[in-house]
Amino acid sequence: VTGLAWTSVGGDILFIESIISKGKGLTITGMLGDVMKESTQAAMSVVRSRAQKLGIANNFYEENDIHIHFPEGATPKDGPSAGIAITTALVSILTGIPVRADVAMTGEITLRGEVLPIGGLKEKLLAAHRGGIKTVLIPQQNVKDLTDVPENIKNHLDIHPVQWIDDVLKLALASTPVPLTTDVTLDENSAKEVQLADNSKETPITASDAIKH
């Protein structure tokens, strides 16, 4: 998953890696500050509260060991703006649905799944442009800050404002998760099979959904 970060020298691309294995627990690495660690816990709670809707077994957190890593481990990282990117990474690893490689995102996440505004939008969009990113998801409440972004940068990006994590997943995932119709656990061995069966039905991001400049 590709996130966007703000640093003392400007914006930067923030990559998020995740793996899953048999076991139990959540491991977070990458020299993270307390706020970012709490953001990861919030993302986990968002996924748990939406598990059935996302086609994820209700007991996934009891049957899996999840490891989330932020590369460049020697560089300190903090702040809440990676919340939606972390949530997307969790949903992707638990459903088997890949995240679009040309999408980057920034936004704080609440326990209700709402996307809150962030700082440094201009610098983050400049970083996305430098990194060859085509589509950027930003909080709806940050739309007003787009006036500070140079027109030539905005013209090269498809900028999508999002209000809820559901909007984020619709744009970021290669296909739409299929909800579970009953309470299914991993022991019944069906959650991921439901997901992977739908992976070929990719929903393209349409140009009409993006802000035009």
As annotated, the active-site residues are 81, 124
Separation of first and last alpha carbons in the chain: 26
* Residue 132 token pair: 């060859």
Q: Which two tokens stand for residue 155?
A: 């013209």
Exposed, middle or buried: residue 116 (CB in 10 Å: 0-12, 13-18, 19+)? middle
In sequence order, the 6+-apart residues with CB closer than 8 A to the CB of 56 are 47, 91, 94, 95, 177, 180, 191
Q: 3-state class of 96 per DSSP?
A: coil
Which residue in 89, 117, 84 sits closest to 18, CA to CA? 89
Q: Which residues on neighbouring strands pair with residue 105, listed in sequence order?
A: 3, 137
Q: Which amino acid appears at position 201 of this protein? A: K
Q: Using only the alpha carbons of the chain, give its radius of gyration.
A: 17
In order, the DSSP letters of 15-54 are E-EEEEEES-EEEEESSB-HHHHHHHHHHHHHHHHTTTTT
